[in-house]
Structure 1
Amino acid sequence: MNWRTGLGAGLAVAAALFGWSAWRQRDTGPAPAGNGLRPDYVMRDFELIGLDDDGKESLALRAPMLERSATDQTMTVTTPLFLLPDADGNYWQLRSKTGWIDARGDELRLRDDVVGTSPEGIGVPTRFETTRLNVFPDRNLASSDARVTITQPGSILSGVGFETNTKTKHYVFKSQVKSRYVPKSAR
């Protein structure tokens, strides 16, 4: 055997080992989230309007991304903006870092940096903040088991555990309620 045959055989073996190694270490893409299944659909930069049983708008949703689970049809939303109409047709705005919607659309769960603001130019400007909020649009109900802070001009009200009727605008704190009032003369 001459030196060229040995060199050729060595290079062939090295090429085969390199190809096999590269194939084994190839990028298979990002790992599937959660249950290991891909979402059955994804929406990006969208606006969705939900209707109640009477065909009236019950909520609107704007977000950069929504993914629907193929297994249970629940949806996860990135940085959602929910617009919830009140009895007069004005919209409360609810924002958070993440959101979740059940398969029937009966429950919304907002998590992380949840902020709600009242409709602009209508009544007393109101803002509330919490880490978690569950919203039930068909029942006109929103609730949280976390600390909620409500800020209005001249007052700050906070407590742990919160429930509100979005149509009547009545709310209840469950515990650890604190109130701070600043009269107009001190502002």
Structure 2
Amino acid sequence: MRKRYLLLVLTILLGFALLAVDNYTQEASAPLTENQTAEADYYGEILFNRRFNEQGALEQSFSAQRSTHFPTTQDTVFDGPVIHIQDEDGSYWQVQAQLGTMNDQDDLLRLRQDVEIRPLKRHSSATDEVVINTSSLDYLTKQQVAQTTEPVTIVNPQTQITATGMRMDLKTQRMELHSEVTTHHAPE
């Protein structure tokens, strides 16, 4: 009989010990607070990335002043992103913005705030400089396509074009303006 009571008491003590361990592990792995989930897991300063084609020629380069990665959303936020793309003619285009975000799972770079697309000058005497401005732009990095549904302004020294929505293949230099297209031309 004593052995039964002793076994019962030991079983109860073991049960309480297991409950205490379970409570302790639940407290240690408590859900993250809202502030903790918004914390970045790494930062980067002065980021450079280059992509080459099958022939080994530079096809696209990306730089940013700063990058911040958030593990819960798997997003990276870039400050001052700049992209250089070489088109089929060998000319370079530059796409830049104040902010950019990219998810780890796709090749879509979302550019926001003062987005600008322009060809890079080969000669300092170039007078036909084109500048494309918009407030936000989605850039598909693998296809080298820039698109937006926001208002767009395209300016060169003699012409100003405004539109709502645009799609531009930077590789082939083909642009589609979606709606509300207005052109003002001032001949020299």
Q: Do the two structures share a fold, i.e. TM-score over 0.5?
A: yes
Distance 1:105 1:117 in 2: 25
Query: If the length of structure 2 is used for normalisation, what is the TM-score?
Result: 0.71
Which residue in 1 is equivalent to 2:149? 145
Compare 140-149 and 44-53 and name the one that shifted more: 44-53
1:49 partnered with 2:50: yes
Which runs of 5 or more structure 2 residues have no equivalent in the other structure? 1-32
TM alignment of 1:132-171, pairs within 5 A = 132-171=136-175
Which residue in 1 is equivalent to 2:176? 172
Q: How many residues align?
A: 153
Quick one: structure 1 residues 119 and 127, their matched pair in 2 at CA, closer, same or farther if it must change by over 3 Å? same
Provide the secondary structure at the position in 1 that maps to 2:74.
coil
Compare 162-171 and 126-135 and name the one that shifted more: 162-171
Which runs of 5 or more structure 1 residues have no equivalent in the other structure? 1-31
**Percentage identity across paired residues of the two chains:** 22
TM alignment of 1:124-135, pairs within 5 A = 124-135=128-139
Provide the secondary structure at the position in 1 that maps to 2:37.
coil
Which residue in 2 is equivalent to 1:82? 83
Provide the secondary structure at the position in 1 that maps to 2:142.
helix
Match of 1:73, as an amino acid?
A: Q
The offset of 1:106, in angstroms, is: 1.2
Distance 1:98 1:35 in 2: 23
Compare 149-158 and 117-126 and name the one that shifted more: 117-126
Contact map agreement 2:68 2:78 (CA 8 A) in 1 = yes
The offset of 1:55, in angstroms, is: 6.0
Two-structure CA RMSD over aligned residues (Å): 2.6
Query: If the length of structure 1 is used for normalisation, what is the TM-score?
Result: 0.71
